[in-house]
Amino acid sequence: MAGWHELPKAELHLHLEGSVTQETMRLLAPDLSEDEIRARYSFGNFAGFLECFGWVVKRIRTPEDYALITRQLLADLERQNVRYAEITLSAGVVLWKKQEFGPIYDAVQRAARSSPVEVQWNVDAIRHFGVEHVMQVAELAAERVGDGVVSFGIGGDEARGPAEWFTDVYRFAHEKGLRLTAHAGEAAGPESVWRALELGAERIGHGIRSVEDSALLKHLRDRDIPLEISITSNVATGVVASLAEHPVRRIYDAGVPIVLNTDDPGIFGTTLEREYEIAATAFGFSDAELQQIAGNGFRYAFRIDRGRGDLRNVH
């Protein structure tokens, strides 16, 4: 396929805050120089990335700022023929900044409704801030089920916020009708993915280190649990040593369902079209395989009408 534009695509793992490009940051923080922003956007490892993410989110200050970045992201998705997006909004960060979540959610939801891209929100918490924080976020998400919020997840540092802390939170979220996802097996090993599955996660954010555990690969394949793969992200954060070592091909060949995503496109300088291009050129995915993977973006969506939600039974 000449380009990946024509293919109707979906994004299932995409952080609103991480969509802020260096150019957009200049609009949010006009006092900063281009050089300073460039320096803040460069990092060499996962801890450095989390620091960069924290720096970016602190500069998204008002509901209007959130609306601006939502409009910019959606215009970008529309240009790429992305028809459907589950966008992660970090309510955890909003609480950390001591801001009110309601006006921010209303602003992003209003911006989303005026885009032709269909949007559902995944509300996520910062796992290394602990159980109480994560429960507060789940409560904010639960209040908005049926009003654009479809799922709940956890991001941040897996090592400092292990999944087993959050059993009660995930049970609560499930009972409130939220679909469940979790970052796992990104910076930590396959045991972190097993723990996320025990929580009831129906999709795994990244999950690339599942490749180290053949029983886990088989489990994901047999239970039809997809990994939300973001190749450029994993190289940029250093959780894989190089592009050539990314396990996407091995995971796919093991029969595990995958979707391709950008994670934090503004920070990593990527697009969804580019992720498809990399899959084709660096990993030899054929047009037919990429069409099937693009279809997975819709197949594994959490939205009620086409997702598998009503068929699944967790806990």
Tokens of 217: 């690969």
CB atoms within 10 A of CB 287: 12
Name the binder of 247 from Zn ion, ligand ADE, none, CB < 5-8 A by kind: none
From 183, 195, 209, 246, residue interacting with ligand ADE (rule: CB under 6 A): 183
Which of the residues 115 through 174 are near Zn ion (CB under 5 A)? Answer: none
Q: Which is nearer to Zn ion, 141 or 292 (CB)?
A: 141
The values of phi and psi at residue 234, to 5°, are: -65, -30
For 262, phi then psi, to 5°, come to -110, -20
CA atoms within a 13 Å half-sphere pointing along the CA-CB vector of 118: 15
CB of residue 183 vs ligand ADE: minimum separation in angstroms? 5
Between residues 181 and 233, which has the closer beta carbon with respect to ligand ADE? 233
Looking at the Cβ atoms of 1 and 131, the one nearer to ligand ADE is 131
Find the binding residues for ligand ADE in span 251-290 (CB under 6 A): 263-264
Strand, coil or helix: 198 = helix
Active-site hit among 11, 17, 86, 186: 186
> What is residue 116's three-state secondary structure?
coil
Distance of CA 105 to the CA centre of its chain: 17
Out of 17, 76, 263, 273, the residue judged to bind Zn ion by CB under 5 A? 263
Whether residue 245 lies in the annotated active site: no
8 Å CB contact between 301 and 10: yes
Query: What, of Zn ion, ligand ADE, none, does residue 156 touch, CB below 5 to 8 Å by kind?
Result: ligand ADE
Kindly report the number of other CB atoms within 10 A of residue 32's CB atom: 14
Which residues bind to Zn ion, rule: CB under 5 A?
263
Which residues bind to ligand ADE, rule: CB under 6 A?
15, 18, 53, 155-156, 183, 186, 233, 263-264
